[in-house]
Structure 1
């Protein structure tokens, strides 16, 4: 049998604290996914972290005894040249920008979160132009490579890449459906392989439409269990607020942890404002966690992914990212939940929009399963967030102040147009150095009031 050649993978944002997750994922799959070159790429501002995490990556690979070369570089073109897959895990403006994305909305009494509401839009406005630039470079340097994006807000970012980039091989990944699948299987006391969940919706707005164990539907049982305050389906970065039993039964589908922002808005906001007053927003907690992680990573005796990384909020990200790469490479035809072009999967969302749905993953990429109509009780909210993503992506590409304002007024977490304008002006001014598209003569007057 002819041996397949080793793969070259480029990871943009290689200095991320999440990188050990990715390294672990490639190591444990090496027999089926022979990565011979992994290029970790970052920018000058991330050089120190890249060297720290890159050195840990080399120790991990050496301990595992796999022939994977780890390359550290600030030269993105060199990393992209002839790559087979490209993964992106960037944060434009680093964690200091996230702090602003959370604190500025909270100053105005709005939810501050990096993927939802005003903070989510702010992150997208900085991030989308950079990812479109990377996609353009991929067209030139590695046109056959798949772009696997983990950068948040993944839904809006995937929407922009699919709509405005010539590079068509784009997939958005998220650890939320994987965590939900794993947690529900554990809750039911069965192996993950026996559980199938039909996921449908958008990123951080995805629902488990049906849950099966050995092909027997158990959705009602799962909803009944989730109404128990002792059983929580959540993430490290989201308060484990209990669901109302009657609400869950009426909803009839399994919400994801991020739905608490929409169904428990006032309670979440109260908790965030308390944290804000004490100077302990999630962003500031994450900064402390990161500092601690990088101190750990410096330890020359550390040669595994430290368990403390799971506190960071991105646990099992490697399984989401590495699974899709392996399934494309090996033509597995298994089912995974991915952000892809709709192509009729959800009949009431535009054909060319990005959706997060269960897909069959083949050597030619993911094929979304036909879901059909979303249940009427969740359809409106999904369509509203899709409108927010569409207009937000357009604002990021065009630098249109009007479109950015419109996007915020569409979002259900922004209760008025006046608040939308106030928070938009503050966020644009705070991130001016990362938003050149907004600081041209025709939009400056709006920003300056």
Structure 2
């Protein structure tokens, strides 16, 4: 459409994007997406921020080579100075891990001593991560508010639901992001032999507690092909989720692979007790990746990075940032944001993960049909846990930690909650100001 003067509308101003945790081994995935999708999200300046100077130098060097190879005109800078790095930013991406892989290793091991799943985003390990992370993220967000008051904060830091709720509750311009939905969208598109943009998911739940209740072609009102998808490709989908095919057939939906921790908890615990932790695998992979990043001839993300996790994170991040900044982006995206009546059995200020209309004013969830009690009940239970977890993260105290653990559906027994409380505090004392 032309303006009244007969001139085409101006292209959006190239954005300044800051990445907190820019020294992460994930970052080249993000850089690759920024380079490939520069027409969707024009970037003038990209700042990678991280206190780990050695890692940051390696990642920053590879990032510049990726931009150069793909002909991206933007500049990439690296810094340990958070305030300088985020100053004047249009969007700030958070991808940090407080305590690093060493803390994750603990999260994945000590809960197993009580017969509870050891995992970094759910159960006792997930609570430990929330307690370490929320205060740090809120401090970062306050500094962003001072240095870049109009910036959007995009949170990829786990546990995304709890962290996003902390940000929103403190009045920040924030949206939470996870790559589970976009990963399923890409898988379904491949199975259906269609373009990913043609696949719309009826995705509902909480972060890492979601179900695809429909798979529609063309948009929210499109034909629901989920029954046919399950009938034809149920074995493949079940194999990816590591759940029996009959579970998917009986449910008639596709649960996130995180639901395996709930639907097959005891089997997962037995499995985790007999193999190295995921944290140990990732730590070894990170050492190899960082060595590769130091090769001055490397100018693309290495294939090994796909095994690190976070697949399609860059594409989801570009899409979300572009929409929030008015540069384009898909009209509907799966994000973490306030419930605001979308799920009537939850408080308005609960953070849910659903399809939303995303624009410069933020994310507005699309309407969700009434949920089966099988899913609504678990969502309500975990939301109650997240309430208590956030209270413990914000205010501290052994009793608050105990109550959060007791409320979690994967724990729920007071003897376990008592023992896990002691373990959590003992393993995380250096990160807990109140302990």
Name 1:17's counterpart in structure 2.
25
Equivalent residues of 2:132, 2:431 under 8 A apart: yes
> For residues 102-146 of structure 1, what are the alpha-carbon distances to aligned partners after superposition, in whole Å with 9 as ceiling and x for unaligned?
111123322110011011000010000011111111221111110
Q: CA RMSD in A?
A: 1.6
> What is the rounded CA distance, in whole Å, between the counterparts of 1:182 and 1:333 in structure 2?
15
> What is the rounded CA distance, in whole Å, between the counterparts of 1:166 and 1:223 in structure 2?
42
Q: Which moved more, 1:19-28 or 1:399-408?
A: 399-408
Q: Which moved more, 1:138-147 or 1:181-190?
A: 181-190
Q: Say which of 161, 185, 189 aligns to 2:189.
A: 185
> What is the rounded CA distance, in whole Å, between the counterparts of 2:10 and 2:229 in structure 1?
47
> What is the rounded CA distance, in whole Å, between the counterparts of 1:60 and 1:195 in structure 2?
29
> What is the rounded CA distance, in whole Å, between the counterparts of 1:248 and 1:226 in structure 2?
11
Q: Say which of 135, 144, 148 aligns to 1:138.
A: 144
| Other structure's SS at 1:107 match | helix
| Other structure's SS at 2:48 match | strand
> What is the rounded CA distance, in whole Å, between the counterparts of 1:60 and 1:395 in structure 2?
42
Equivalent residues of 1:344, 1:370 under 8 A apart: no
Structure 1 gaps of 5+ residues are 235-239, 440-449
Name 1:117's counterpart in structure 2.
123
> For residues 26-80 of structure 1, what are the alpha-carbon distances to aligned partners after superposition, in whole Å with 9 as ceiling and x for unaligned?
111222322111111112xx22111111111111112122221111111000011
Superposed, 1:58-69 pairs within 5 Å as: 58-69=64-75
TM-score (structure 2 length as normaliser): 0.93
1:423 paired to 2:407 = no
1:303 paired to 2:311 = no
Q: Which moved more, 1:105-114 or 1:352-361?
A: 105-114
> What is the rounded CA distance, in whole Å, between the counterparts of 1:31 and 1:189 in structure 2?
25
Superposed, 1:206-245 pairs within 5 Å as: 206-214=210-218, 215-225=222-232, 227-228=234-235, 230-232=236-238, 234=240, 240-245=241-246
> What is the rounded CA distance, in whole Å, between the counterparts of 1:378 and 1:232 in structure 2?
19
Paired residues in the alignment total 423
| Other structure's SS at 1:144 match | coil
> For residues 8-41 of structure 1, what are the alpha-carbon distances to aligned partners after superposition, in whole Å with 9 as ceiling and x for unaligned?
1111001000000111111112223221111111
Q: Which moved more, 1:338-347 or 1:411-420?
A: 411-420
> For residues 397-437 of structure 1, what are the alpha-carbon distances to aligned partners after superposition, in whole Å with 9 as ceiling and x for unaligned?
0013212111111112114111112122112111111111x
Quote how far apart the aligned CAs of 1:166 are: 2.5
> What is the rounded CA distance, in whole Å, between the counterparts of 2:338 and 2:232 in structure 1?
33
> Would the alpha carbon gap of residues 96 and 346 (structure 1) be closer, same or farther in structure 2, given more than 3 Å must change?
same
Name 2:6's counterpart in structure 1.
none
Q: Say which of 308, 331, 334 aligns to 2:331.
A: 334
| Other structure's SS at 1:337 match | strand
Q: Say which of 10, 15, 19 aligns to 1:2.
A: 10
> What is the rounded CA distance, in whole Å, between the counterparts of 2:155 and 2:190 in structure 1?
28
> What is the rounded CA distance, in whole Å, between the counterparts of 1:355 and 1:266 in structure 2?
27
Name 1:80's counterpart in structure 2.
86
| Other structure's SS at 1:124 match | helix
> For residues 290-309 of structure 1, what are the alpha-carbon distances to aligned partners after superposition, in whole Å with 9 as ceiling and x for unaligned?
11111111111001111110
Name 1:237's counterpart in structure 2.
none
Equivalent residues of 1:15, 1:42 under 8 A apart: yes
Quote how far apart the aligned CAs of 1:195 are: 2.0
| Other structure's SS at 1:197 match | strand
TM-score (structure 1 length as normaliser): 0.91
Q: Say which of 171, 190, 202 aligns to 1:166.
A: 171
